[in-house]
Amino acid sequence: MCVRPLESVIYFPDALGTIAVVTMCGNLLVIFAVFYFRQLHTSTNYLVLSLAMADLLVGTIVLPFGILLFANPCWPQQAVLCRVRGGFDIMSSICSILNLCFISIDRYYAVCMPLSYRLKMNAYVTAIMILITWVISVLCGIVMSVGGQKQETRCAFFQNLNLGIIAAVVAFYIPVIIMFTLYIKIFFVAQKQVRSIHSMQTGMGARKMERKATRTLAIVMGVFVFCWSPFFICVTYLPFNNFKIPLSLMETFKWLGWANSMLNPFIYAFFYSWFRSAFRIILTGKIFKGNYTNAKLL
């Protein structure tokens, strides 16, 4: 008998549609801001741009397909749509965490090795990082979406759970450990810098901006881990629990993970003054009344 795939009453198409729309609008705002304002043309923000593009894929493809699968559980083309959704889902998820990993490396050089930062993290190196991120993500999305047979009669999030466990380790646990280690080092170095330049006014503003940027991106990473860790922990635990975790619970955790793509732009707007100023200029329509490309963002 054909039934809806989501039993829990917390799933409402209107709410899911709202998440999709907010995700699209928020990340389009980040993308436009980085492209438009020259002050945001930095290596860190190019990585943020890449992250926003991955999040935009979630809002434009993954979430709408997820809503369609929810609303039409008996659709004849469900298997095809499920695989397409799965491929883009895996690609965008891996792309997000690889971007965050490279952002943590960028912040490490900015705070811990400021004298060599511009030499080591130039436009060429940033472009290579972004290229590596997307190539790996696309390849993983293709392999994971076509590999193996589905473990559930309903639309599964991984076509092969063994591959899912490998993906969880390689694309989640290892990068999170790397990011956590780097941010711990950054924290201690930043604290040392605060004490060493406490009596110096020269360079204080630049150092303060670097620390604020690092704090903001650390929060982005923390929110990412909070949103995605329940799902990846479940994927890892499934084989040891004889696959007895309810699919509805897995889908709840999956939607929590997808919600991360909606939250990132709000984190930038709340914690990052440069993006906050850029968003204010865009949303108030000032960009239609003059050229603000070279505007000084506070």
**pLDDT at 75 (0 to 100):** 65
Name residue, tokens 């490490």.
108
Q: Nearest to residue 160, comparing CAs of 243, 58, 55, 95?
A: 243
- Domains of the chain by residue range: 13-288
Among residues of the chain, what percentage have pLDDT more than 90? 17
Region 82-106: mean pLDDT is 85
Burial of 109 (0-12, 13-18, 19+ CB in 10 A): buried
| CATH number belonging to the domain at 13-288, selected among 2.60.120.260, 3.40.640.10, 1.20.1250.20, 1.20.1070.10 | 1.20.1070.10
Q: Per residue in 161-216, pLDDT tens?
A: 566 677 778 778 888 888 888 888 887 787 776 666 555 555 555 556 556 666 76
What amino acid occupies position 291? Answer: N
Rounded Cα–Cα distance for residues 66 and 61 (Å): 8
Q: Nearest to residue 157, comparing CAs of 256, 263, 56?
A: 256
Q: CB atoms < 10 A from the CB of 205, how many?
A: 9
Burial of 55 (0-12, 13-18, 19+ CB in 10 A): buried
CA angle 289, 295, 296 (to 5 degrees): 145
